[in-house]
Structure 1
Amino acid sequence: MRIALLNEFSQAAKNTVIFQELSAVTQENGHHAYNLGMKDDNDHYLTYLNLGVMASLLINTDAVDFIITGCGTGQGALAALNAFPGVVCGYCIEPTDAFLFAQINNGNALSIPYAKGFGWGAELNLNNIFRNAFGSERGQGYPQERKESQNRNAANLFVMKQAIAKDYLQALKAIDQTIVRESVLGKDFQKYFFENCKDDTIRAYIESLISQ
């Protein structure tokens, strides 16, 4: 599984700790983690609105399989990611949330509050969150006897979001283009996106925005 880390400006100072714990868990479980920022106060400036655009681009072009994101409360990033088709983001405060989201909802993103309650032992909580998110096969149901109905509902949620939303490229073009452009100007994001994007039409659109 390819997993991207995205966080906004208020939590940039914690990026190193977050990615360290994510990398440790993903390596143990045969996954690959990519740090796409913000990495520090001097990195490309991102708000939770930018995180929504970035995550949606990565998911909808099959550049990654999963997004780890968040902000101070985790709520802004959660709302921004879930605004887009193709993205089903859960809210995760502690390891049980991560386990239940993986087994019941089986979405493709988690938003974590990095300011609220982020104190002594925070790195242990992150490590355990990531172990519960990525340390076992997903979609197994909880309790297991409800697996069939839970998997059906999770799959139907993706279909519902796709039916309700505009065509993804039309949606990107319909929102404030300044926000979209700001979202893709980070060097780490650009390098990863252009190397892994599997949709030539969206690639061309992003290239046109960057060149403006």
Structure 2
Amino acid sequence: MKIALMMENSQANKNDGILTELEYVAKPLGHNVFNVGMNNANDHYLTYIHLGIMAGLLLNAKAVDFVFTGCGTGQGAMMASNAHAGVFCGYCIDPSDAFLFNQVNNGNALALPFAKGFGWGAELNARYIFEKALTGERGAGYPLDRKEPQVKNANILTKLKSDLIGTTYVKSLENLDQNLVKEAVGGERFQACLFEHGQDQEIINYVKSLLH
């Protein structure tokens, strides 16, 4: 599985530590991690609005399979991500959240708070969140006898979101302020992840058109 990690400007100083914990869990499982921003205060500037655009592009282009995103509370990153077609982002503050999101909702992104409640042992909490999010049978249901309605509802939500958007993902982005999208895609590590691993040429061509 290909996994993207993205954090906004206020939490850039925590990126190294969070990346270490994510790679500690992901690499032995055979997953590849792409740290697409921000990794320090001087890195390409990102707000949680930018993170939502980035998550949407990477997931819809199939450049990655899963996104871990976050901001101070995690709430803004979650809402910005869920504004995009094809992104199903949960909110996670402890390992049981990650486990239940995996089992019940089977989404493709998780937003974490990197300031609120981020105290003693925070790196261990992050590690255990990553473990629960990346292991186990996705969509297996919890409790197990609830699997059928949970899978049914997840499928309904996927179709509902697609029907509400009602257009291609690129066309939905073209309705936004193009300067905002251009800001979101300006990071070199993000571009490398999208261009080298993306499978949707329309999305790749659209992003490239913004950079010239």
Q: Give the TM interval when normalised to the shorter protein.
A: over 0.9
Normalising by structure 1, report the TM-score.
0.98
Instruction: Write out per-residue CA displacement over residues 39-80 of structure 1, whole angstroms, 9 at most, x where no aligned residue.
Output: 001110000000010000000011000000000000110010
Normalised by the length of structure 2, the TM-score is 0.98
Mapped to 2, the partners of 1:128 and 1:202 lie a distance apart of 34
Aligned counterpart, 1:47: 47
Q: Following TM superposition, by how much is the alpha carbon of 1:209 offset from its aligned partner in structure 2, in angstroms? A: 0.4
Report the identity percentage. Answer: 55
Q: Render the CA deviation track for 1:130-164: whole Å, top value 9, x for unaligned.
A: 11101212111000011111111112211111110
- How many angstroms does 1:20 deviate by? 0.5
SS of equivalent residue, structure 1 residue 6: strand
Deviations 1:187-208 (A, max 9, x none): 1111111111111112111111
Where does residue 199 of structure 1 map in the other structure? 200
Instruction: Tell me the equivalent position of 2:23.
Output: 23
C-alpha separation in 1, matches of 2:31 and 2:206: 29
Deviation at 1:16, TM superposition (A): 0.5
Paired residue total: 211
Q: Secondary structure of the equivalent of 2:27?
A: helix
Match of 2:179 in 1: 178
1:107 match: 107
In the alignment, which residue of structure 2 is the partner of 1:161?
Answer: 161
Structure 2 counterpart of 1:194, which letter? F
Report whether the alignment pairs 1:7 with 2:21: no
Query: What code does the residue aligned with 1:13 have?
Result: N
What residue is the counterpart of 2:77 in the other structure?
77
Note the C-alpha offset of 1:32.
1.6
Structure 2 counterpart of 1:34: 34
CA RMSD after TM alignment: 0.8
* Structure 1 residue 120, shift from structure 2 partner: 0.6
Partners of 2:138 and 2:21 in 1: how far apart? 20
Misfit runs of 4+, over 6 Å: none
Equivalent in the alignment of 2:120: 120
Uncovered stretches (5+) of structure 1, i.e. residues with no partner: none
CA deviation map 1:76-117 (0-9, x unaligned) = 100100000000000001111000000000000000000001
Where structure 2 has 5 or more consecutive residues not aligned to the other structure, the ranges are none
